[in-house]
Amino acid sequence: MENGLAELLGELEEFGTTNDAATDDRTRKMLNITHDTGVFLALLVKASKAKKVLEIGTSNGYSTLWLADAVGEDGSVTTIEKAPDKRTMAERNFQRAGLGPRIQQIGDEAGRFLAMREAGEYDFIFLDSDRGQYAGWWPALQRILAPGHLLVVDNATSHAHQLEDFNRLVTASDGYLSSLSPIGKGELVILKEDA
């Protein structure tokens, strides 16, 4: 990672912490992943040689930058965010980092977007969004994740109660192996096994 990106990530970490402490309005919070989660995601992307990444929940782009750096120059990250103000903020951060060309921003409902994707289109998916919808998205997520690749779910420990239905579905699905990692707010790592 280049020094300029590391400095920007540090600035965004500080901004996120200060911003979130100053408001009770959830829509105004950044709700960024932790630094160690960023390192963990980068490690997983690089180790799995993922090149087509999907992120659901951009916020101000903090996690997107970790992913975009990890995919390398020949990779891409598609990131979905409904809130226009957060998309604008993220776009500025992507340009500042020089990673804009690797990132495609989508302003849409995630469920609608997922329904339109091709089978096996992504080789890494990161969920950091409305946890109550994950169970409903599971069939589409299964379809669009390439065999032999990973789906990672943030807040798997901090908001475990909100993921109970999703976890039951994953456990009941043949061909998936999952493990809960105690990094950050808890990362559920799901492998779609090769057929």
What's the average model confidence in pLDDT over 35-46?
97
The domain limits of the chain are 32-192
Q: What is the rounded distance in angstroms from the CA atom of residue 192 to the CA atom of residue 195? A: 9
Residue 84 pLDDT greater than 90, yes or no: yes
Q: What is the rounded distance in angstroms from the CA atom of residue 65 to the CA atom of residue 74? A: 15
Global pTM reads 0.93
Q: Convert the pLDDT of each residue in 136-188 to its tens digit.
A: 999 999 999 999 999 999 999 999 999 999 999 999 999 999 999 999 999 99
Please answer whether residues 26 and 2 qualify as being in contact, where contact means their C-beta atoms are separated by less than 8 angstroms. Answer: no
Which CATH code is given to the segment(s) 32-192? 3.40.50.150
Q: What percent of the chain has pLDDT over 70?
A: 99
The reported pLDDT for the residue numbered 195 is 67
Q: Convert the pLDDT of each residue in 2-19 to its tens digit.
A: 878 889 888 888 877 887
Q: What is the rounded distance in angstroms from the CA atom of residue 107 to the CA atom of residue 57? A: 10
Q: If we measure between CA atoms, which residue out of 82, 87, 91, 35 comes closest to residue 63?
A: 35
Q: How does DSSP classify residue 183? A: S
The reported pLDDT for the residue numbered 32 is 84
Q: Is 49 left (phi over 0), alpha (psi -120 to 50) or beta?
A: left
